[in-house]
Amino acid sequence: MKSVKAFAPATVANVSCGFDILGFAIDAMGDTVELVLKDEPGLRVVSIEGDQGRLPLEASKNACAVAIQAMLDELGINPGIDIYLKKGLPLGSGMGSSAASAVAAIVAANELLANPFDKKDLLPFAIVSEKVACGAGHADNVAPSLLGGFVLIRDYHPLDVIKLHVPDQLYCTLLHPHFELNTADSRSVLRDQIPMKVSTIQSGNVAGLIAGLYQEDYDLISRSLKDVIAEPYRAVLIPGFYEIREALKDAGALGVGISGSGPTLFALSKGVGNSAKIAAAAQEIYQTIGLEVDTYFSKINTQGAYVIQG
């Protein structure tokens, strides 16, 4: 095998109450990576499409190359691989852009090398890449992008990741306004300590959301989609957040929250009809606050990353 191409989907991290421990994948969009074997050893990032020239081609700083290098180090080998990245996700969007790149890269590399790892065992390599791309090795984007569906990161030491049940009629609408919000800036407004009362409320919402997913209880899911830890501080960075949230709930959203570190918002709903109504309502409300917005809606992606050709 001389070349392999793989795709990894966009993701929503945190899912309101699940700060740094919950995430899910969506069907609407993602990144594609093609790998080609070359004679000279080492990794080379040959081209990146769709980034407006902003992402680094230097292998030590590129999410794709860092993830692949972590895999090669584990295997103790040094093949020659050329990397071609096609970005389907905007940068600084809160949709797991760097995660999708890294995940597509390691899935393609695993296939190129005759699958030395099971899919779930690729996750640590993507986490290494997130440390370089975002400054923190969180798994709430890379895990759902790799595995698909709703994912809970129960612990990191050792890594313990659990796929959760996804109700068949659960849909997501993504609202991506035309401005960027850096992860570092979004994290800088958070508090290092929280009161025990706040922690208790958040724990109840996380438990309620997971129970709602398994019981396919959409009312319980709706009641649980509340964040008392990060959202109160991050909302001020997103113009019109509270007005948008209320308008989308009126349009049928079970809940509305910040996707990852923002500025993209997500809205969960029951059925494709409600999801389409939410997208239409979002266009109207964003117009009133003077922001352009791209809207996407789809079912939850339960497949995760996959090989397109190989």
Contacts of 13 (CB under 8 A, 6+ apart): 20, 22, 23, 94, 96, 138, 140, 141, 144, 259, 260
Interatomic CA distance for residues 222 and 243, integer angstroms: 18
Interatomic CA distance for residues 170 and 297, integer angstroms: 11
Using an 8 Å Cβ cutoff, are 54 and 91 in contact?
A: yes
Neighbours of 206 (CB within 10 A): 19
- E strand or H helix at 256, and its extent? strand 255-258
CA 80 to chain centre: 29
Q: Which residues are catalytic?
A: 130, 183
Burial class (CB in 10 A: 0-12, 13-18, 19+), 32: buried
Interatomic CA distance for residues 11 and 96, integer angstroms: 5
Residue whose entry in the numeric block shows the structure tokens 């809606």: 297
Query: CB pairs under 8 A, 24+ apart, for 117-122?
Result: 117/71, 119/146, 119/147, 119/304, 120/146, 120/147, 120/161, 122/71, 122/146
Which tokens is 96 given? 């797991």
Separation in Å, CA 299 to CA 27, 127, 164, 267, 268: 7, 25, 15, 12, 10
